Amino acid sequence: MSNDPVVAIVGVTGAVGAEFIATMDRRNFRVGRLKALASARSAGKTVTFRGKEVVIEELTERAFDGVDIALFSAGGSISRKYAPVAVKAGAVVVDNSSAFRMDPNVPLVIPEINAGRIRDHKGIIANPNCAAITALVPLWPIHRENRIKRVIISTYQAASGAGAAAMDELVESTRASLEGRSFEPKVLPLPYAFNLFSHNTAIDPATGYNDEETKVIKETRKIFEDEKIAVGVTCVRVPVLRAHSEAITFECERPIGEDDVRRLLANAPGVRIVDDRVKNYFPMPIDASGQDDVLVGRIRRDLSDPSGHSISMFVAADQLLKGAALNAIQIAELLPQRALA
């Protein structure tokens, strides 16, 4: 792979696509040439990358000729159709959809946890679910030292998880509500302004879990390489523009205290502790927005577990960054050195 790779962004006009561009620029990711790919209706428009206008091209099967790295964020159906095409053309695909995450031949990677799995790729590397990333980055340093047997997660997921159109709908519906106007939701299935609701993915009638919750359960086990870890999760959409928050309670095999958790997280990559009991100041989406780190606070012993094996905490992370674009770029940053090793 070239030290100045040709990089294609599939879904460049979306919220994550814009963050791909900004994150590559901010991290000085080496790019020989950028190919901006989107649907036919966006072809001919431009995006700005490092001070230059890049013309958007239509996504076709010929679009990946000469591409070294293809960053996908255009939904599962697009990924399933075009990722194999990109691989056949010689590109390494980092895919942000759920299309390949549970494929046993596709690494599911959070670089702070399992960067070594990148070398196992056969052309496609999957970016995990944003809610899973938010929880697992701070849980991993603990799990590595004192295995987590069971984790219960409640998510507070922002509009950004449903894309730019959902973010716009939250703004417009809030404005309408404040002005006393009616508003008919078009992107999300339920009223969003001053409301929250179960995550807008399909419910499995047999289990009662929605797709988002099932993803978190399965992806946790794959990334941690621990099929026995017990995971319970409730995913909720809240009226926040960007940055997911999560309440997490976990149980370890051995006793664990608050100071143990703070020590393990103090220098953990991708984590920043925000835990001020005196000021009642803890992780908030407004502070996590635009930040690379997962913010962690409200670290406290779970009083419902008298054995001392359980801790509760609260986390927040930018869904468009660490939950999507940043994690993918971190993977891409490791590709050249892996390829040349």
- Catalytic residue numbers, as ranges: 130, 244
**Tokens matching residue 298:** 């409200």
Contact 314, 53 (CB under 8 A): no
Burial annotation 203-234 (CB, 10 A radius, 16+ → b, else e): eeeeeebbbbbbbbbbbbbbbbeeeebebebb
DSSP for 121-143 reads: -SSEEEPPPHHHHHHHHHHHHHH
Distance of CA 336 to the CA centre of its chain: 22
Going 166 to 172 to 174 to 176, the CA torsion angle's sign is negative
What's the chain's Rg over C-alpha atoms?
20
332 vs 31: CA distance, rounded Å: 11
Going 261 to 262 to 264 to 269, the CA torsion angle's sign is positive
303 vs 306: CA distance, rounded Å: 6
Burial annotation 308-336 (CB, 10 A radius, 16+ → b, else e): ebbbbbbbbbbbbbbbbbbbbbbbbbbbb
135 vs 220: CA distance, rounded Å: 9
User: In angstroms, how far is the first alpha carbon of the chain from the final one?
Assistant: 11
Distance of CA 294 to the CA centre of its chain: 11
